[in-house]
Structure 1
């Protein structure tokens, strides 16, 4: 039996035998009975009386405020011993350690078994010991959360931040006992990968800020305020987590009853090391819907990116800072607005802004045809001071690049320091979202961990490899590199299809690689694969972790932020300039 239950069980013997219970000798229904072992109570709608020790006051100051009671008698170990009392007056009138007998109506309040419409509360005793129930991740079953509903729990283990996506909107952080990787980042797709994805749920817990409000201001974590300089990153660690397990329509979470201690275990990375003078550096960066809206009236809101000119200027400033710090000779860009190459285009705007701060100016490759019909395109920047353009800019528009996967762009460059010819291909395959309506098609989710459109992405990889073998730029070279957002994790079919064609996967063997965080899992959607001849010359490969680990609240957007937060959460630095991390490959010949 859990220590918390032992201590309270022993207390009950003395309490029931004392005169204190003279005023609490009425019949009551045990909390265990109210909770039951099903997901909802069998006693819903019934008016009844129950008894328990106050363990916590939660959501104080909100319309959802209440207290939690824990039974002092022993009961069914498969049922929760605690119950939420939804009453704003009780939330402030009663303290942890008080033994109460309460009458009310049983209901499922946002999926949590609760007592509402409180009609009578009697204080039976005070000063009782309240001990949090010890819980350790991973759980043995997701059903454990139902048994913990309403319980005061604590984690003695150090936990790791795995996701901060909802920190800004809801004050929530996903924690786990370790950093969780996307299953298909570390193992082959299939039943085992799907099983690992399900099993990883046992390793996570959502910790709430206890405010019961959207867009909290200020944004607090561990007693600190989130700002552009004071961040909370995925990979940071957390201690002293104690709180009440609450269930709502979005799942289970822990509402802290004491302040968690957040430790900056994953500090922000510095700028990439300066490129050696005679090296060739090639990078790719998904710039997250960089739109300036010049081909529409009015220009804002854009179709995908900034909603206002002010947002665009904030986005551009962060993006430029990140691009300049890459110190790359060639940069492949993804998710640039497909509005041409003219002076008012998004690509021209970005390049002009970049050249105001870059140590060596950039130009962009211009294709002879429009880069597909999608609203976004891929693009290439290069530094004429270090590389020269050779051959033609080539794009592939045939299937499967006529829809879904964006047409790839290839351009050959001569590295001026070594005179080597290198062909760079920048790519953006179809995402896993917007699944086909026909679930019988091969592009539907096969439940193997690869999501939707895997067949299209795999066909795209095969077609890309075949195309590059034809030397589409008109320049013959055995040094080629495939870069970009393939929307596939490392062990998935599209990446494997390229490796099967002898493309060498470039990675840093000394570090765990990831470029993206989604729903509390980390993995690489952005990849670099090179021909064997070029792969031999690789000096370093780096995912510059400036974005995926950072809270979305620190991006350029203005919505859902107070006037103060619009200033405090923003800085024209590279952190959270996008949702993807840049990829940097440095070669020495």
Structure 2
């Protein structure tokens, strides 16, 4: 860890005080031991005398470890009120920091405390004298049971300490102190934005390690690395309204996307709910460095455009306006209409010829089915593929839609219902198509493999500690089975080649993708736009502050040379989930934004 005094510019990194040398102590370790012994043998000041009287230095109470050595004892301290969180919805207390001219010279000890009290005395910048009991509350050093609180006049606000984020940082020595982060920070996660007013920030955007590294201990270590911090809202209540970030309140036209940048992050360094946080003294500057993108235009000429999207559980009730709530998806008809309107916008704006979708309700092919209802919503030129085989026993299925005015199905559709998909899972769907002005058919296959959730995982399906999560073994077996199955399908159905596109629930370097590679199927997005730790502009999903692609477009060796472009359209994964159709803040919008939690993948094939 390193930090810099904003006032003096002195760097404090693994430094020990001049007072140690003056005392004749030769060793930092010996000095630390001597200091701790003196601290433990010297009683705390607990008498509630007048301002300026004897008081215990806050650094003594904090100590050099994770816990105060004086937990449970009564102490009197004096310091400057640096941030007040006693208001409605706040933390029921304030932050008190030692005045700079009274701070010690030990970089291992914090100079500030949180005072848990509803007593109203004191305001920002005032010097206070407080008597209370020392307590560790879930890792935060506090004064509680306050029995004396006296205003000692105006004080000078302590200078903020410059803080640099890195994976090796420990913040204990700056707990409750004023800090600022001079470098720009990137929003990497907004999962709790609407629930708790939180944003997760890091020096740069982060990539899932198995997007660019083979699974193994290094990938797991990189995924577990820290170097991030939470921007909080100084509130302890749930569901703050309006949502505090961005300034002006979160809304359909005032979004805050992962990948956006913040400058001027400053406030008090706090520890709550197992995370280090900045409780801001003033709002930082928000910069839209990851703006929303327009729909990608089609290339000129005879091109087949295939698009894949996870529909995020599109269930249509009974198909007649009732039947809600369903086992998944929208809880009422209004939410369903909102969900479908956004999905239709997302699915049609890029002007595709074929749609490969997953997480569609598995309720047959009647006029009231989810499959038929979506086709009708897409428009009069859209049709969907019906399969003679069973669509699986899962609540959701994969499906293929096509523009009948541009594309003609060739031969029969097929579902893989044997091997790993016998009586379980979501059977992949395969159908060959050709453009009306072309005689080169392309076989399109849409899979949806087992998720990474560990529920029910046993044996080889459990998390192996290599960065792939659970069920990697099952997903790999499924990938092998799909490739072997396709090798046995009629050759005439894939004259131009085969495209496997859908939600494989595996990042680009994980074993299921490797199984496909070994059998001649290459990720087109990874080939056209490879990800590195420092740069990854095309991805389909974000999870716990990291991005990568769970959804893929895999071309056979024959088809790959015909692919002129493959990319993602970043309309969903970067958007706050609070703007999704199922949230109480969901705007009444028919645009494509946050229509799902996955970004679509688009492939253009020259035929």
Question: Do both share a fold (TM > 0.5)?
Answer: yes
1:393 aligns to 2:418 (yes or no): no
1:280 aligns to 2:304 (yes or no): yes
2:322 and 2:144 mapped to 1: Cα distance? Answer: 51
Equivalent residue for 1:78? Answer: 108
Equivalent residue for 2:430? Answer: 410
Matched ranges for 1:426-441 at <5 A: 426-436=446-456, 438=458, 441=459
2:295 and 2:320 mapped to 1: Cα distance? Answer: 36
Equivalent residue for 2:514? Answer: 496
Equivalent residue for 2:66? Answer: 39
- 8 Å CA contact 1:242–1:257 kept in 2: the answer is yes
Equivalent residue for 2:248? Answer: 224
1:37 and 1:342 mapped to 2: Cα distance? Answer: 69
Instruction: Quote the offset at 1:276 in angstroms.
Output: 3.0
Unaligned runs of 5+ in 2: 11-47, 531-535
Unaligned runs of 5+ in 1: 9-20
1:423 aligns to 2:425 (yes or no): no
2:447 and 2:606 mapped to 1: Cα distance? Answer: 24
Equivalent residue for 1:529? Answer: 554
Q: 1:205 to 1:59 in 2, by over 3 A?
A: farther
The counterpart of 2:267, out of the listed 213, 228, 243, is 243
1:123 and 1:503 mapped to 2: Cα distance? Answer: 72
1:129 aligns to 2:147 (yes or no): no
Equivalent residue for 1:365? Answer: 385
Equivalent residue for 1:334? Answer: 358
Matched ranges for 1:316-335 at <5 A: 316-335=340-359
Matched ranges for 1:526-565 at <5 A: 526-558=551-583, 561=584, 565=585
- 8 Å CA contact 1:164–1:234 kept in 2: the answer is yes
- 8 Å CA contact 1:514–1:524 kept in 2: the answer is yes
Q: 1:420 to 1:474 in 2, by over 3 A?
A: closer
Equivalent residue for 1:11? Answer: none
Instruction: Quote the offset at 1:410 in angstroms.
Output: 0.3
Q: 1:23 to 1:446 in 2, by over 3 A?
A: same
The counterpart of 1:49, out of the listed 56, 76, 98, is 76
Q: What SS is found at the alignment partner of 1:411?
A: strand
- 8 Å CA contact 2:95–2:113 kept in 1: the answer is yes
- 8 Å CA contact 2:346–2:591 kept in 1: the answer is yes
- 8 Å CA contact 2:80–2:155 kept in 1: the answer is no
Instruction: Quote the offset at 1:160 in angstroms.
Output: 0.8
Instruction: Quote the offset at 1:311 in angstroms.
Output: 0.7
Q: For 1:423-471, what per-residue CA distance to the aligned partner results, in whole angstroms no more than 9, with x for missing partners?
A: 0000111000034454xx1111111110000001111111111111112
Across the aligned residues of Structure 1 and Structure 2, the Cα RMSD in angstroms comes to 2.4
The counterpart of 2:129, out of the listed 101, 116, 125, is 101
1:326 and 1:100 mapped to 2: Cα distance? Answer: 62
Q: For 1:46-101, what per-residue CA distance to the aligned partner results, in whole angstroms no more than 9, with x for missing partners?
A: 222122222222363235232211233306432322111122334xx423433322
1:346 and 1:131 mapped to 2: Cα distance? Answer: 61
1:187 aligns to 2:217 (yes or no): no
Q: 1:321 to 1:220 in 2, by over 3 A?
A: same
Structure 1 runs of 4+ aligned residues shifted over 4 Å read 4-8, 295-298
Instruction: Quote the offset at 1:477 in angstroms.
Output: 2.9
1:459 and 1:103 mapped to 2: Cα distance? Answer: 65
Q: What SS is found at the alignment partner of 1:209?
A: coil
The counterpart of 1:140, out of the listed 160, 168, 177, is 168
Q: 1:22 to 1:89 in 2, by over 3 A?
A: closer
Equivalent residue for 1:153? Answer: 179
Q: What SS is found at the alignment partner of 2:270?
A: strand
Q: 1:222 to 1:481 in 2, by over 3 A?
A: closer
Q: For 1:270-310, what per-residue CA distance to the aligned partner results, in whole angstroms no more than 9, with x for missing partners?
A: 01103535210111010100011228997111111001111
Residues paired across the two proteins, number: 558
Matched ranges for 1:170-319 at <5 A: 170-199=196-225, 201-202=226-227, 204-294=228-318, 299-319=323-343
Q: 1:434 to 1:195 in 2, by over 3 A?
A: closer
- 8 Å CA contact 2:409–2:434 kept in 1: the answer is yes
1:67 aligns to 2:94 (yes or no): yes
Instruction: Quote the offset at 1:328 in angstroms.
Output: 1.0
1:576 and 1:127 mapped to 2: Cα distance? Answer: 48
- 8 Å CA contact 1:68–1:85 kept in 2: the answer is yes
